[in-house]
Amino acid sequence: MPLLKIDNAELEVESGITVLQAATANRIEIPHYCYHPALETVGSCRMCIVQIEGMPKLQVSCNTFVGEAPPDKKIDEKYDMVVHTQTELVKQGRKNVLEFLLLNHPLDCPVCDQAGECFLQDYAFKFGNAHSRFEEEKRVRPSEYLGSQIVINQNRCIMCTRCVRFTRQISGTGELFVQKRGYDFKISALEDQPLDNLLAGNVTDICPVGALLSTDYIHKNRIWNLHEQPSVCQDCSVGCNINVFYQKDRIFRVSPRENHDANGYFICDIGRYGFHRFEEIERMTSPMRRDEEELTEIQWDEAIKVVAKNLSDAKEKIVFVASPFHTNETNFMLGRFQKGFFGALPLIEEEGITYPSGFSINSDRSPNHRGMNDVCPSILEDMASEIDQQNIKVMYILDDGVDRELDQEWKEILMKMDFVVVQSYALTEVAESAHIILPGLAPFEREGTVTNDQGRVQWLRPSLPLKGKARPDWRIIMEVVNTMGKQELSYSDVGEILAEMGKCFPAYEGVSLFRLGDYGLSINGKVKSS
Amino acid sequence: MSDFQPILTEHIHQKECHTLSFYISVGGYSALEKVLAMSADDVIELVKASNLRGRGGAGFPAGVKWSFIPQDGEKPKYLINNADESEPGTFKDRLLINKTPHQILEGMIIASYAIGCNTAFIYIRGEFFKEYQLLEKVVAEAYEGNFLGKGILGSDYDLDVVIHRGAGAYICGEETGLIESLEGKRGWPRIKPPFPAIEGYLKCPTVVNNVETLSNLPHIINRGPEWFKSIGPEKGPGPKLFCVSGNVNSPGVFEEPMGIPLKDLIFDLAGGIKDGNELKAVFPGGSSSAILTAEEALSVNMDFDSLAEIKTMLGSAGVIVMDEKVDMVQACLNIARFYAHESCGQCTPCREGTAWLVKILTRITSGDGNSNDIDMILEITDNIGGLIDFSKGSFGKTICPFGEAVAWPVRSFVEKFENNFRQYISQEESVT
């Protein structure tokens, strides 16, 4: 392995990687704009210049490769390459590039959505000049829509072409291109093909400056007001890693979080904008009982008692309906009922898409189908006919939520029940059939683990506070089980349930929130318990 | 007048000199026959020994360029004849295409054979429409005569030639910009490495040679490298086409040995300065070269090394002559405008810097200059490309040499004709 020296750091690195990659992996900052690890290198911004011993000119670190030097070419008899990132020459070079980039920039940071997370701001602050020597008129051009949700502020664009390369190399849709030439350049979308593919939102994330903006977030808030919660997308079984940006009880933005064992660098727009569908729903905030056609609020104690009594009376003639939209812990807790049948409603499936770069949107639009099957007692393959054959009249349903539409068959099955309990956060079609509704948490309020289709367990972290009298779903089940009187469960948080789960299902043995951290763990290779 | 016997342009005054039958009648394609009996390695060694340097601008040794092509590997190899001639003041390749197209084609076949290529391209400047039509005919003739196609002249060597028209961008003369354009993409130069010899056209090993470079090959094969080296300076020898334009009495293309005094080119061959005016300045190698003062021009020889010594270059040998009536500030603005217009816009310094130069120069010429402007221009040119001054980290500021191509001339105008700029600025300052 070549021995590389960057400033004062001695690094042993893989042969064939670039100086920029070596520096980044070792937390040495080399400023750059056009380079993005997911995209082909173009080397055009000229920001990542460094000085390399033995080379007369400054080199762009994004396209300078580290390799073994022959014995007589080693520097100080041991280094294969010696790189300087802090010499006067390099500092002056960066200043010059930044000066060029800012010549025609409007310097409108006070009203720019990128302010606070802008590489032009950050690098100008760290490496640039404090004043401008530009006395001429600036290039001023109107903003344009590139797609129905993407706007470009042409004046802020630094022409790094990350967005153009994204549509060519990642989404493969090729809507964007550079129009005109040189100083008159601008990023445009094809006239008959606007930037409306399902990965379009990513261009606003990879844009290093405030040029590409999502209409969903534009002028809504300032980034420094928002909390950033690392979590997992719940809109399909890929389990993309995300950051949820929220303030108080409102989400403002969802953006991708890099995880090469799940989504890579990107997310799709279904997940990016999906949080909006929970904003306008009629939220369940209190337990409800159905009297004739009317739903009336009741107290938790009473609700739990009624449910426990009905379940006890039904003996084993009960179906517990698990949900791939709920966490492992909630589904595992459902299994603590022990006596009865376990089933799930049919999968919610839509068209799956795999992009040329390998990025996928799965057809299974639930986040935890794999996990539900892992941690629930054997789920019935044909729940409908089992209900019929066993003449079951009592159901306890973990509601899939607002995405579940009931077909006629299931509506009829639910109509025939004597007693239906639904744990839900909204008055969904399923909840409409309930005799008792127990208010659980909505997707961005939940905490627990989910397992994606590749067997990766990931930590779903909450970003919104719970609402009204709603309670965590696992806690509701625990209370019902305890009230039925046969067990005395006493978990105080999801971590404890996870530990218990590991004892029952070897695949999950040793999995803890601490070990999951930001990137999760794969349970592949471990045998699934029956 | 020079007593040099033209080699590349020997027959251009003959009727029908562009036809196959004429070319054969003067010994054309005899070099190809010799080459087909040689090994490819021997052809490369022979051309290396001749010290033939590229005639497109950079002056890179042709044989060395060929030897970078990996000889193992499965990928096909490509030769591209760069006929995009777009450097201002340059019009030699156009003459060669019009008058001696088979000489070019023979050179292409020799080069293709040497690097083991079976498909070669002619990338021709879009504006050369008549020349394009002629080349189509010439290539068809060559196929008919079995100089192209399968089993050339009874050998087992096959070669196809495809002609591709450019769409009029200056930057497509740069070899990687040209390759991108040939692939059907925007003509944006590529970051190197990889160099075209390793990953060029369609990521396959590719050599790009200029029209004039290729035209020399049949003669080197026929008469040997020693003969070639005897013409002009040994390190960069051979016959050379010089394009002389501007304020001279007889502008045109002149074939002379490398190293001819610039003075002779201007005053003998091109008939001296028009209207009896004084010589003021000369671009020796197209508008990308640093400009020379009259004094420098009268003493320099036209070859790679002599020109590099006085910090300019032979480039494309486009000699642009300016007399005393030329306003050097306006001329500088004109040059800067050209480069700002042709900058592809990829690299930050070139895209923003060229436009900045134009804005400052426009302000100066319209009487709004100030005394800081001169230093500012010098600094901007340094930050785009800069003169050859390694201590300042010049070079490498842009992906391709376009940065230098604008920095060199603009900087040289300001350095060498500073008084002209000061006059514009002081007029304004005295008014205020």
Q: Residue B430's pLDDT is what?
A: 53
How many residue pairs bridge chain A and chain B with CB atoms within 8 Å of each other? 101
The string of pLDDT tens digits covering residues A48-78 is 999 999 988 899 999 999 999 999 999 999 9
Flag whether pLDDT at B392 surpasses 70: no
* Nearest Cα residue in chain B from A47: B348
Residue B422 predicted with pLDDT over 70: yes
Instruction: Judge whether A226 and A246 are in contact, CB under 8 Å.
Output: yes
As given in the structure block, the two tokens for residue B55 are 């005639």
Beta-carbon count within 10 A of A160 CB? 28
CA distance A486 to A312: 10
Domain ranges of chain B: 20-229, 239-323, 328-431
Residue B129 corresponds to which amino acid?
Answer: F
Mean pLDDT, residues A19-28: 96
Name residues whose C-beta falls within 8 Å of residue A114's C-beta, 6 or more positions apart in sequence.
A120, A121, A156, A207, A209, A210, A213
Q: Residue A525: pLDDT above 90? A: no
Query: What architecture is domain B328-431?
Result: Up-down Bundle (1.20)
Rounded to whole angstroms, the Cα distance separating A278 from A201 reads 20
* pLDDT-based confidence at residue A527 (cuts at 50, 70, 90): very low
Pairwise CB contact (< 8 Å): A63 & B395: no
What is residue A289's three-state secondary structure? strand
Identify the pLDDT of residue A526: 63
High-pLDDT (> 70) share of chain A, %: 99
Chain A contact set for B192 (CB, 8 A): 63
Q: Taking 60 as the threshold, does the pLDDT of residue A530 lie above it?
A: no
| B20-229 and B328-431, same CATH topology | no
Q: What is the pLDDT of residues A309-357, one digit of tens each?
A: 999 999 889 999 999 999 999 999 999 998 899 999 999 999 999 999 9
Question: Residues A474, A476, A479, A483: is their CA dihedral positive or negative?
Answer: negative
A174 vs B: CB within 8 A: no
Say if residues B261 and B267 touch (Cβ distance below 8 Å).
Answer: no
Predicted local confidence at residue B350, as pLDDT: 96
Residue B389 pLDDT > 70: no
pLDDT of residue B26: 96
Mean pLDDT across the stretch A426-451? 96
- 3-state DSSP call for residue B225? helix
Chain B residues closer than 8 Å to A46 by CB: 347-349, 397-398
Mind giving me the DSSP string for B245-293?
A: EESBSS-EEEEEETTEEHHHIIIIIT-SBGGGPPEEEEESSSTTSPPEE
Q: What's the pLDDT band for A293 if we cut at 50, 70, 90?
A: confident
Q: Is the pLDDT of residue A189 over 60?
A: yes
Rounded to the nearest integer, the mean pLDDT of chain B is 94
Cis link prior to A287 (omega < 30° from 0)?
no
What pLDDT sits at residue B426? 83
Cα of B383 to nearest chain A Cα, Å: 6
Q: Express as a percent the part of chain B with pLDDT over 90.
A: 93
Average pLDDT for residues A410-432, to the nearest whole number? Answer: 94
Residue A263: the pLDDT is 95
pLDDT of residue B427: 67
Shortest CA distance from B376: residue in chain A: A133
Q: Which of B360, B395, B399 sits opposite A43 (nearest CB)?
A: B399
R_g of chain B, CA atoms, integer Å = 22
Q: Among B352, B374, B381, pick the best mutation site for testing chain A contact (most A Cβ within 10 A).
A: B352
Q: Average of pLDDT values for B51-78?
A: 94
Q: Does the pLDDT at position B428 exceed 60? A: no
Rounded to 5 degrees, what angle do the CA atoms A522, A528, A530 make? Answer: 155
Residues in chain A: 530
- Nearest chain B residue to A51, by CA: B393
What local confidence, expressed as pLDDT, does residue B83 receive?
98
**Banded model confidence at residue B211, pLDDT cuts 50, 70, 90:** very high
Mean pLDDT for B312-322 is 96
The pTM of the full predicted model, rounded to 2 decimals, is: 0.94
> Which CATH number applies to B20-229?
3.40.50.11540
- Rounded Cα distance, B102 and B211, in Å: 11
Among B318, B363, B356, which residue's Cα sits nearest to residue B340?
Answer: B356
Looking at residue B1, its pLDDT comes to: 53
Contact at CB, A65 and B355, closer than 8 angstroms: no
Kindly tell me the burial class for residue B6, based on how many C-beta atoms sit within 10 Å of its own C-beta (0-12, 13-18, 19 or more).
middle
- Distance from the B392 Cα atom to the nearest Cα atom in chain A, whole angstroms: 7
> Is the confidence at residue B393, as pLDDT, over 50?
no
A45 vs B contacts (CB less than 8 Å): 347-348
State how far residue A106 is from chain B, nearest Cα, in angstroms: 14
Q: What is the mean predicted confidence (pLDDT) over B130-147? A: 98
Q: Does A183 touch chain B (CB under 8 A)?
A: yes
Q: How far is CA B284 from CA A341, B83, B235, B298, in A?
A: 92, 21, 19, 11
- Asked if ipTM goes beyond 0.95, one says no
What is residue A529's predicted lDDT score, i.e. its pLDDT?
41
Please say whether the dihedral angle defined by the alpha carbons of residues A211, A217, A220 and A221, taken in this order, is positive or negative: negative
**pLDDT tens profile B80-137:** 999 999 999 999 999 999 999 999 999 999 999 999 999 999 999 999 999 999 999 9
Q: By CA distance, what is A90's nearest residue in B? A: B393
Measured in angstroms, the CA of A174 and the nearest CA of chain B are apart by: 13
- CB contact under 8 Å between B394 and A41, yes or no, is no
Could you identify the residue written with the tokens 């949107």? A361
Distance from CA of B189 to the nearest CA of A (A): 9
Over the stretch A136-158, which tens digit does the pLDDT of each residue have?
999 999 999 999 999 999 999 99
Decide if B348 and A183 are in contact by the 8 Å CB cutoff.
Answer: no
- Measured between CB atoms, does A133 come within 8 Å of chain B? yes
Topology annotation, domain B239-323: Ubiquitin-like (UB roll) (3.10.20)
Confirm or reject contact between A292 and chain B (CB < 8 A). Answer: no
pLDDT value, residue B432: 45
Mean pLDDT computed over B145-169: 96
Residue pair A183/B339 in contact by the 8 Å Cβ criterion:
no
Whether residue B431 is predicted with pLDDT greater than 60 in this model: the reply is: no
State the best of B346, B359, B387 to mutate against chain A, taking most chain A CBs within 10 Å.
B346
* Residue of chain B minimizing CA distance to A87: B393
Query: Are the beta carbons of B395 and A56 separated by less than 8 Å?
Result: yes
Nearest by CB: B348 against A45, A92, A134: A45
